[in-house]
């Protein structure tokens, strides 16, 4: 059984993204990113620390443990994959696809995720990057892109 809930995954994902953007992450940064109160972040950080996902330095910086990094990358990978998938199958824009991906990324199991990966590989020119310029392509990050596709995002959109 998973020892982390959806909100915990959201916190880990936010910490990962803030680390990539700023290097160091403090509780206030997480509160601002997620639009929650500082006491809510403090409580969540305590839970994440107690479950081994996070440490807090003496200066107050939040640091993902190896377990935290692994979980955060998995959640973020599902987020990117679902954003790309939703853009591909529905034709909606990045922001709408990303908003919806955020809602469902916690609920899919590995079989569904793997099925989406397989579908994206078989049915897209560049395995789903589809213009999600703000994020890296999930399949590319997993070395699953087709080698023969060198099209730009604009070129891919024109062929759809």
Q: What is the pLDDT of residues 31-77, one digit of tens each?
A: 999 999 999 999 999 999 999 999 999 999 999 999 999 999 988 88
Collect all residues with Cβ–Cβ distance below 8 Å to 86 and sequence separation of at least 6: 92, 96, 97, 100, 101
Predicted model pTM: 0.74
- Binned at pLDDT 50, 70 and 90, residue 124 comes out as confident
Find tokens 């590319």 and name the residue.
Answer: 140
Residue 130: both structure tokens together: 């589809």
- Binned at pLDDT 50, 70 and 90, residue 141 comes out as low
Nearest to 140, CA basis, from 84, 95, 87, 69:
84
- Per-residue confidence (pLDDT) for residue 95, from 0 to 100: 92
- Per-residue confidence (pLDDT) for residue 14, from 0 to 100: 95
């Amino acid at each position: 059984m998973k020892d982390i809930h959806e909100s915990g995954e959201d916190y880990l994902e936010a910490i990962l993204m803030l680390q990539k953007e700023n290097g160091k992450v403090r509780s206030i940064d997480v509160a601002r990113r997620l639009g929650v109160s500082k006491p809510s972040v403090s409580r969540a950080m305590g839970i994440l620390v107690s479950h081994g996902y996070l440490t807090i330095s003496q200066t107050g910086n939040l640091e993902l443990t190896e377990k935290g990094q692994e979980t955060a990358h998995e959640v973020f990978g599902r987020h990117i994959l679902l954003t790309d998938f939703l853009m591909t199958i529905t034709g909606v824009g990045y922001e709408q696809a990303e908003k919806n991906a955020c809602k469902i990324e916690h609920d899919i199991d590995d079989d569904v995720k793997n099925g989406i990966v397989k579908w994206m590989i078989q049915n897209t020119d560049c395995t789903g990057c589809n213009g999600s310029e703000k994020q890296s392509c999930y399949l590319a990050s997993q070395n699953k892109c087709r080698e023969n596709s060198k099209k730009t995002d604009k070129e891919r959109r024109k062929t759809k």
